[in-house]
Amino acid sequence: MLTALDGTYGDRADAIGVAGRTASYEELLGAAGAVAADIAGAPAVAVTATASLETVAAVVGALLAGVPCVPLPPDAGPAERDHILRDSGAVAIEADFARRAAPPTAAPGASPQDPALILYTSGTTGPPKGVVLAADALAADLDALAEAWQWSAEDTLVHGLPLFHVHGLVLGVLGALRTGSRLVHTGRPTPQAYAAAGGSLYFGVPTVWSRVAADPASAAALSGARLLVSGSAPLPAPVFRDLERLTGHRPVERYGMTETLITVSGRAGGEVRPGTVGTPLPGIRTRIAAEPGAEIGELQLTGPTLFSGYLGRPEATAAAYTEDGWFRTGDIAAVDESDGVHRIVGRASIDMIKSGGYRIGAGEIENALLDHPKVSEAAVVGVPDADLGQRIVAFVVAEGVTGAELTDFVAAHLSVHKRPREVRFVASVPRNAMGKPQKKLLLDGHFGGEAR
């Protein structure tokens, strides 16, 4: 699957760069080979996915060994980390980039349909679920994106995205190793780092692009690029317009989920309109499940990039599909009848928050807050934010504790990016007759609460 490592595209000393360190394909292959030799036959391995050459070597080593790899968020709290390790059965490993070994031959009986990655994604309730992705799904998606974005070995890909999600790891690392493009991972995705990288292809989430647009000098430095790609959350139209004005590029947006990989995208050289995510990639079919007479409805899809299932959760896997086998995205969308361009309207549920490019389940944060001994009720929502897309706001019933203390409490138990940006204290959480929180009332401001 990792075509660049078999010599197809030659080699160079700086083929892979992460946070200021560089390596050739040969060096990466040797370090990954050492990892593969160590883990041969393991049921699954977990890698703390820091922005480092060690993370790249560990993930590649697992793929070479045919061992499912579980990337762990480096900022995960002990409860989240323990859940992922326990649920996946993975053994945590570390790579030593100084070690070298010959890559292994293919394991007997290995199949492209075998699990390659297990990525944990937040649901609207309960702990994260493991999304099983096979090697053939990864390859199908990367090949489709290479065609859509005219992505080739002539490119230099630049991004600074986390290496435990589809965007940063699958597209941003494995994509470079499949297409042969040079990779520059900037570490932190600052505007200045993007400007200094000299890339032809840039990946970013809306938070990154809003910060680039707020730094005109850095934005202007991207004018020599070939393509800017935005994803993981809708790109605000003002940011789109600012980037176009400052860089001369109209950013391409794409749409996907952990369970489906990237399925819909704008095209390099094609018409790009703000607020749209393009058309289905080759092999992907979409449909809108709308009420009679409605123009919008749930986006459903099918194709070769879909996940193999939720790890150990056959009921949840079955519930994710319609009776005739189409995946339910839970996103509300509209399709332009004239050209098939898709527009994502929003979530079917308000319990999924997209903040800073992360998909965050409100239920997981609520559970963490309720673990605090002074919190009796909690409801978490996402509210519009010019920088983050949405910011996490927690409405809590509690006494004798401050908002800052609760924020720190959540950050210590879950990933830091899941902490509330704002805590509001209320006398009660509005509920319906079934006892379910009525978050629409919170979002509408009827229960404003007090910040303290």
- The residue among 343, 376, 400 that closes a domain is 343
pLDDT > 90: what percent of the chain? 79
CATH (domain of 29): 3.40.50.12780
Query: Distances in Å between the alpha carbon of 284 and those of 14, 36, 87, 262, 297?
Result: 35, 33, 31, 10, 18
pLDDT bin (cut points 50, 70, 90) of residue 360 is confident
Residues 89 and 159 in one domain: yes
Residues 190 and 272 in one domain: yes
Residues 399 and 275 in one domain: no
Give the tens place of pLDDT for each residue, 293-312: 778 889 999 999 999 999 99
CATH (domain of 389): 3.30.300.30
- Rounded CA separation 426/272 (Å): 44
Residues 274 and 380 in one domain: no
**Edge-to-edge strands of the sheet including 182-185?**
21-23, 16-18, 182-185, 156-159, 201-204, 227-230, 252-257, 261-265, 279-280
CA-based radius of gyration for the chain: 22
**Mean predicted confidence (pLDDT) in 208-224:** 97
Supply the pLDDT for residue 108. Answer: 66
- Rounded CA separation 407/393 (Å): 10
This prediction's pTM: 0.84
Check whether 286 has a pLDDT greater than 90. yes
**Domain residue limits at 422:** 352-451
Output the average pLDDT for the chain: 93
Residues 72 and 103 in one domain: yes
- Rounded CA separation 206/310 (Å): 28
- Rounded CA separation 190/171 (Å): 19
- The residue among 278, 310, 343 that closes a domain is 343
pLDDT bin (cut points 50, 70, 90) of residue 236 is confident
Give the tens place of pLDDT for each residue, 162-178: 999 999 999 999 999 99
Residues 256 and 390 in one domain: no
- The residue among 308, 343, 378 that closes a domain is 343
Number of domains comprising the chain: 2
**Mean predicted confidence (pLDDT) in 111-125:** 85
Residue type for position 5: L
Check whether 434 has a pLDDT greater than 50. no
User: And the tokens for 58?
Assistant: 């560990």
DSSP assignment of 305-356: T--SEETT-HHHHHHTB-TTS-EEEEEEEEE-TTT--EEEEEESSTTEEEET
Are the CB atoms for 157 and 201 separated by under 8 Å? yes
Residues 361 and 399 in one domain: yes
Residues 291 and 393 in one domain: no
Residues 306 and 357 in one domain: no
* DSSP helix/strand/coil, 409: helix
Residue 47, strand partner residues: 71, 93
Residues 208 and 254 in one domain: yes
Supply the pLDDT for residue 436. Answer: 66
Residues 23 and 170 in one domain: yes
Residues 243 and 359 in one domain: no
Check whether 115 has a pLDDT greater than 50. yes
Supply the pLDDT for residue 211. Answer: 94
Residue 253, strand partner residues: 230
